[in-house]
Chains A and B, each alone.
Chain A
C-alpha cells in the first residue's frame, strides 16, 4: 500500500493551525509534538503507519464545531478517530492533516428505557452502553469482538457488526438518531427517539460512511431487552463444506439463530491451544449455533436444531448445559484472532461476505491460493450472514511476506465478489480495500457514491484518500451550489 506524500503547502500551515486551535482548546487538548503523536500513528491495521500533523481532543460538540471551522478555513484535511481499533485503516492519519479524536467525549447523556434508547457521546465504548443498562435487563445488540475498546462513534462510522447480526442486525439497524459536525463546522441532527424521521434517510447514509461525511458527536442507540436465556450447540463435521450445508439446513427449517459460527481445522487447533475450550482438535470443522429467548423457546429450537445437525452429518453434538459451558463454547471462537499470535508472528484478517451457498467453492479456492502463495490460512466464518474471515498467516520480518499476504488477500476478496458477494462485511473499506472498489463497482456506481460525498463535503476535507480509489472533483458533476437557499433552474416547475 502506497501512503500519500504530505503536501508541503499544507505542512507549512502547521504553526498557524496549532495556534488557532490553542485559541479554542486548552493545551492538553491539542497534541503536536512528535512524541505525543506516536500513539496516533496507526489504527488496528498496524502495517500502515503515519504520524498526523496534530491531534485535537475536543470535549463537546461546540468544540468539534469550532475545530472544524478553523481547519475548514485553513483547508486542512481532517481524519476522525474513535478508539483506533478499526480493521481497514480508516483512521490512518494523514501527514499533512489533523486527527480529531473523540476520546474526551465519553458521557452517557440519557438512558430512556421507556422509549428503548440511550443517548451517548461518540467516545463511549460499545461495551459500556450495555454495562450501563445491564442491571435493568437491557443491552445494545451489535457486539463487535473489540467491544471492550471500540467506541460507539467508530461503530457508527464503520457500521460495525458482530456475531449476532443475523437475528439482531448491525449498527445501522440499531440506531434512532445522530448528531454530526459537517466539514464546515455546521451541526446536523438527524432522527431522535422516534422510529423514523422526515426527508431522506441521512442517518442511513452517515452510518458506515467511514468518516468521509461528518464527525459523529452524539448517537441515540436502540436498546433491547436481554433474552431470558441463551444456549449454544457445538457440532463437529468431517468437512467444512458439510458444516456450511448444515447452516443452510437450519435456515431452511425456518430458524434464525442468534449466532452461527464455523471454524476450520487450523482455527480450531490454534484456539484450543490458547483458550482451552475443549474444542475437538484434529477435526475438520466445528459449527457453533446459539439460540436465545424464553427457555421454552430455546429448548424447542435446540431440539429441532439437533435433528437438523444430525441429518446434515454432524459426527458429534454438544449442547451447553449451563451458562458456564455456553461461555466456554464461545471462549474458543472469541480467542480465534489472538490465538493466531501463538502459531504465526503476524496475521492478516480478511472480511469478505459471500452468499452462503458459495462457501464450498470459496473455501476450495482459498485452499488452492494457500498452496500457491505458500501461506497458511485459518478460516473463521460468521456463517449465518455469510461473512468470511480468512486469517492469512505470515511473518512480517521476512521481506516480501506482507506484500505476498496483501496480494493473496486481494485475490480472496475478488473471489468473494466473483461469487456474488462483497469486499467487506463489517470492517470497512478504509485504505486497505480502497483500490479494490473498482472490482466490485463500475464507474457510474462509484460516481453515485461520490454524489453523496459531494453533498456533504464538496472540498473533500474529511478523511480524503479512504474508500475511493480516485476521488473526482465535485465540480465534474456540475454545479451543486445552493445560493441563498435557492436551487438552480428556478424556471423549472417543482411544486
Chain B
C-alpha cells in the first residue's frame, strides 16, 4: 500500500517492504480489517510494540498499529471503572488513576515505555499482585472489538457483576490479537493501597524460600507479593542496603492501611527464625517494580527467556530440573541458567541456553503440573534468521483443546488475517 491517507482517518506510513496503518477510530479499524480480508493480506496488530518479541512472530506485509487509537474515554472513580482506547499508554492510564488514588490491581508489567493498555490485555500480562488481586482477565469488564470478519462487536458491560451471555471478555484477554482488534476496553479499577512494606529474608535456598512463601500465602495476612531471588540472579538496586551482594533474597509484601500493614508485617516476621529486614513505602514499591520489569534477569546472547507457570509446591524442583537439563544440553557453555520466582513460587522466570530444546522445557513444565511460555527468543539466532524455539513459544495443546481453539479462530477470523501464527502455527 502506498504512503497515503486512506479514508479520513487511516494514516499509512511505509518503511521498506512493510507499511503501517494507524487508524484513529473504530470505523477506521473496521476498514483496515475489511481491506485485509478483501486482499487476503494479513495484518500484524500492535499497540506500542513493547511486547512484540513475546510469542511467535507474525508474518504480515502490513502492521495495524493502534497507537493513534488512544485516550481515556470515561473514568468514573466512584464506579471503580475506566473506559479506554487500546493505544492508551499504560503509564498514562496509571498516572490518571493515581490522581484519584486508584490503580490497576493486577499491577501490569510494562516492558518498555511504549506499553499500551490494549497490548496488556491482549497478552493478559499481570504482575506480582496477581496472587492476591487476580489477572488482567479478572479486571476486563467489557470491550469493543473488530473481529476478523470486519464486524464491530461489543461484549461484557460497564458493571462489575454481569453474567449476561458468554463471558467474551475472558476470551479476548490473552488471545494476542488473533480473534479481533480491540478498539475499546472497560477495566475495573480499585483504590490504591494506602501504604506498603516488604519483609526481606536473606540466605534461603530455593526449597526453603518456597516453603516460607507458601507458609506466608497460607497465613491470614493478605500478602500481595511473594518472590524469591536465588544467588544466581541480580538483586534490584533497591536491595543493596538490606542484602549482601550475591545473597539469595526472599521478599514478602504487605499492602493496606498503615496500622494493618504494621501488624501483618510483624506476624510475617514471626513465620521465620531467620533475621529479617524491611523496606518501607517507596523503597518497597521500587523493588517490586524492578521485579515486574524483570530487572533480575538480563538475557544474554545465546539465551532464551521463559516464564513457567506451575503449582507453587512444584516450583523449586521444576526450576532445579530445568537447570540440570540446561547444563547437560550445553556442555562447556559459558552461561549459567538463572531463574527467579514470583507468585509465591507459582511463576518462574528463567534464562535458559538456546541449546535446551523448547520441547524439553514444555515437557518439564507439564510434568510439574503447569506450562511454559517463551518470552524472548535467543538474540543471536534472531540476527541470523530465527530461533527455532519461537515455533513452540506456547505450550502444546491436547487434541480436544486444539480443535476448539481452531474452531474459535475460524469463527472469529475465518480468513486468518489477524496476527496469524502469533500463538500457534494454525491460529
Contacts and interface: CB of A to CB of B under 8 A. Distances in A.
Contacts of B410: 478-480, 487-488
Interface in B374-427: 391, 394-412, 414-416, 420-421, 423-427
Contact of A357 (B78, B175, B191): B78
Contact of B167 (A207, A296, A354): A207
Contacts of B312: 114-116
B161 A294 contact: no
Interface string A106-117: 000000111110
Contacts of B220: 137, 225-228, 294
Given A445-B154, A487-B410, A186 B78 contact: no
Nearest to B156: A422
B218 interface: yes
B161 A385 contact: yes
Interface in A183-197: 186-190, 192-197
Interface stretch (A40-48, A198-206, A310-318, A371-379): A198-206
A301 B257 contact: yes
Contacts of A421: 157-159
B400 A182 contact: yes
Interface in A446-478: 446-449, 451-456, 467, 477-478
B171 interface: yes
A309 interface: no
A195 B408 contact: no
A480 B411 contact: yes
A485 interface: yes
Interface stretch (B13-21, B46-54, B128-136, B241-249): B128-136
B404 A202 contact: yes
Contact of B260 (A182, A203, A294, A445): A294
Contact of A294 (B79, B167, B264, B415): B264
Interface residues of A, number: 104
B363 interface: no
B168 A452 contact: yes
A300 B260 contact: yes
A27 interface: no
Interface stretch (A342-350, A398-406, A424-432): A424-432
A208 interface: yes
B332 interface: no
A300 B415 CA distance: 57
Interface stretch (B87-95, B108-116, B292-300, B365-373): B365-373
Contact of A385 (B155, B159, B426, B427): B159
A195 B395 contact: no
Contacts of A482: 403, 406-407
Interface string A410-445: 000000000011111111110001000100111011
Contacts of A159: 163, 167
A447 B165 CA distance: 11
A200 B138 CA distance: 14
B359 to A, nearest CB: 14
B263 to A, nearest CB: 5
Interface in B162-185: 162-171, 173-175, 179
Contact of A201 (B170, B191, B194, B313): B170
A198 B394 contact: yes
Contacts of A396: none
A12 interface: no
Interface residues of B, number: 102
Contacts of B218: 113-114, 116, 225
Contacts of A200: 171, 174-175, 179, 405, 408
A210 B27 CA distance: 33
A294 B158 CA distance: 32
B163 A158 contact: yes
A125 interface: no
B165 A197 contact: no
Contacts of A456: 404, 407
B367 to A, nearest CB: 12
Most buried by B among A173, A186, A193: A193
Nearest to A441: B165
Contact of B165 (A172, A293, A437, A494): A437
Contacts of A408: none
Given A204-B173, A454-B411, A197 B371 contact: yes
A209 B405 CA distance: 17
Contacts of B423: 199
A419 to B, nearest CB: 10
In order of increasing CB-CB distance, the 10 nearest A-B pairs are A204-B170, A297-B260, A451-B411, A455-B407, A193-B311, A254-B191, A198-B395, A194-B370, A425-B161, A385-B161
18 contacts: A116-B218, A189-B401, A194-B309, A197-B371, A199-B423, A202-B404, A205-B168, A251-B78, A293-B256, A294-B264, A353-B162, A382-B161, A421-B158, A426-B163, A477-B411, A487-B406, A492-B40, A493-B59
